[in-house]
Structure 1
Amino acid sequence: MTTQSIQTTPAINTAAGSATRSAAQTAAAAFAAILFGSFLLYGVGFAQPQQIHDAAHDARHSFAFPCH
């Protein structure tokens, strides 16, 4: 009869497995966030269907952004 050892939690080497983000990755993420935010602000705010416009209307005015 042999006994087997079962490791219940995986070992994590924090020095070798640490994630770093380069300046280019940070800039790309910031650009994507700005692009998406601009679409939400202008694309949804000036949309013709009234339901789409009303979905973002109160939030836009709470930030003092005029939409009409």
Structure 2
Amino acid sequence: MLSKADSNVKTAALLAIMLGAMILFGVGFAQPAEIHNAAHDTRHALNFPCH
């Protein structure tokens, strides 16, 4: 059985993952080219492979 603290940690982690995925897909598939290009340039600036 999970304690209340464990349950709160798991809930917070799940919400953080969901928020991160929403931001990632929201920016990655954004229609205005400026938003997508800014995210793309940021990934390159941080040495994060994107393609």
Q: TM-score, normalised by structure 2?
A: 0.66
Q: Which runs of 5+ in 1 are unaligned?
A: 1-20
Bigger helix share:
2
Identity %: 48
Name the Cα RMSD after superposition.
1.8
- 1:63 Cα deviation (Å)? 1.8
Paired residue for 2:50?
65
Paired residue for 1:55?
38
- 1:40 Cα deviation (Å)? 1.4
Runs of 4+, deviation exceeding 3 Å? none
Pairs aligned (count): 46
Which protein has the larger Cα radius of gyration, Structure 1 or Structure 2? Answer: 1
